[in-house]
Structure 1
Amino acid sequence: MDIMQIYKEANALLEGHFLLSSGKHSPFYLQSAKVLENPKVAYELAQSLAKLIQESKIQVECVCSPALGGILAGYELARCLGVRFIFTERVNGEMTLRRGFEIHKSEKVLVCEDIITTGGSAMECAKIVESLGGKVVAYAALANRGICKRFNALKTSDTTECKLDSSLPLFALGDFIFDTYEATNCPLCKQGSVAIKPGSRGN
């Protein structure tokens, strides 16, 4: 499955000047909502991701995603894995579990995002899961920005910026390795361009 081609066909690979959730700037942005608005495509992507996880023999009893971006990807993945789905969300800036959702003691939980950049939101979600007695067994995403090392993949960039627990596998359908810049040293800013954030936070 050519994940980059799927994003291009959905007009979900944006070019411009963007502010990422990590705080960095980039000339590219992945808008997963444009891909996942098509239920057939969402199912096919989740099915391919579920196959990778099942082939690894890792046991998963629940999928948990950080809102908002991970909800559609996480729900479809849970459906393909045949397990329940829950999500965490921010309240006053802090990730929390609400809406009557519970974590069962020692429940094996996979944390799913649409895109993994540094993995910061996924780690916040994982900490909530483990604080409530669950056991995080892996991370998953439709696509990986290449900062974190993908399971059984050699392509990776600066892993020192990855916030995920390196002892756990990260499953994704492919890597998108784009240039990123510190906000204080962004060549696009120096050209007079202003970064925008088209994602679920800040817009």
Structure 2
Amino acid sequence: MNLEQIYKECGAYLEGHFLLSSGKHSQFYLQSAKVLENPILAGELCEKLAQIIIAYGVEFESICSPALGGVLAGYELARASKKRFIFTERVEGVMTLRRGFEVKKGEKFIVCEDIITTGGSALESAKIIESLGGEVVAYAALANRGFCAVKNLANERKENAKLPSNLPLFALGNFDFEIYETHQCPFCQQGSKAVKPGSRGN
């Protein structure tokens, strides 16, 4: 499966000058919503992701995703895995579990995103699950942006990865884009203004 080609064919592999949720800048942006707007393709991708997770022998009962970006990927992964699905969401900037969702004591979860960058949002969701007595056994995403180590891709973990190193992350592909601090961004130095195409604030 050539994930980069799929993103390009869907118009989801963007090139320009982008402001990321982390506050950093990048020349490239993965707009997974353009991939997931096709339910057949979304199902096929998450079926493949489920097969990878099962092949590694991970046992889990439920899937949780941080809204908004991770919801479609998490739901389709839950469908492919025949598991329960819930999601967390931000309320006044704080990740929260609402809408009557519950976590049982000892319930085993995979936290699923569309894209994992440093893993900050996924980690926030994991902490909520754990605070309610659940257990996070793995993380999953359609794509990894090169910071976190992916179990099935065997890439190296970078310094600013936030996901715990003792739990596996599974993904269909790895995109290792250059990311810049604002004061070091070559596009800003050329007078370009970064745009934010992501789910937060847009």
In the alignment of these two chains, the number of paired residues is 202
Q: Structure 1 unaligned runs (5+)?
A: none
State the TM-score, normalizing by the size of structure 2: 0.98
Give the letter aligned to residue 32 of structure 2: S
- Root-mean-square deviation over aligned CA pairs: 0.8
Match in the other structure for 1:72: 72
CA distance in 2, matches of 1:154, 1:74: 22
Show the 5 A alignment for 1:22-61: 22-61=22-61
- Once the 2 structures are TM-superposed, how far is the Cα of residue 21 of structure 1 from its aligned partner? 1.4
Give the letter aligned to residue 3 of structure 2: I
Give the letter aligned to residue 101 of structure 2: F
2:35 is equivalent to residue 20 of structure 1 = no
- Once the 2 structures are TM-superposed, how far is the Cα of residue 60 of structure 1 from its aligned partner? 1.2
- Once the 2 structures are TM-superposed, how far is the Cα of residue 96 of structure 1 from its aligned partner? 0.4
The percentage of counterpart residues that share the same residue type is 67
SS in 1 for 2:173: coil
State the TM-score, normalizing by the size of structure 1: 0.98
- Once the 2 structures are TM-superposed, how far is the Cα of residue 25 of structure 1 from its aligned partner? 0.3
Q: Which stretch of structure 1 is more off in the superposition, 72-81 or 179-188?
A: 179-188
Match in the other structure for 1:130: 130
SS in 2 for 1:27: strand
CA distance in 2, matches of 1:20, 1:48: 28
CA distance in 2, matches of 1:152, 1:90: 30
Match in the other structure for 1:164: 163
- Once the 2 structures are TM-superposed, how far is the Cα of residue 184 of structure 1 from its aligned partner? 1.9
CA distance in 2, matches of 1:145, 1:21: 13
- Once the 2 structures are TM-superposed, how far is the Cα of residue 154 of structure 1 from its aligned partner? 3.0
Q: For each residue in 1:80-117, what CA deviation from the matched residue of structure 2 results, as whole angstroms up to 9, or x when unmatched? A: 01100000000010000000000011000000000000
Match in the other structure for 1:183: 182
Give the letter aligned to residue 120 of structure 1: G
Q: Which stretch of structure 1 is more off in the superposition, 75-84 or 176-185?
A: 176-185
CA distance in 1, matches of 2:36, 2:154: 27
SS in 1 for 2:4: helix
CA distance in 2, matches of 1:185, 1:202: 23
2:111 is equivalent to residue 111 of structure 1 = yes
Q: Structure 2 unaligned runs (5+)?
A: none
Give the letter aligned to residue 116 of structure 1: I
Give the letter aligned to residue 81 of structure 2: L
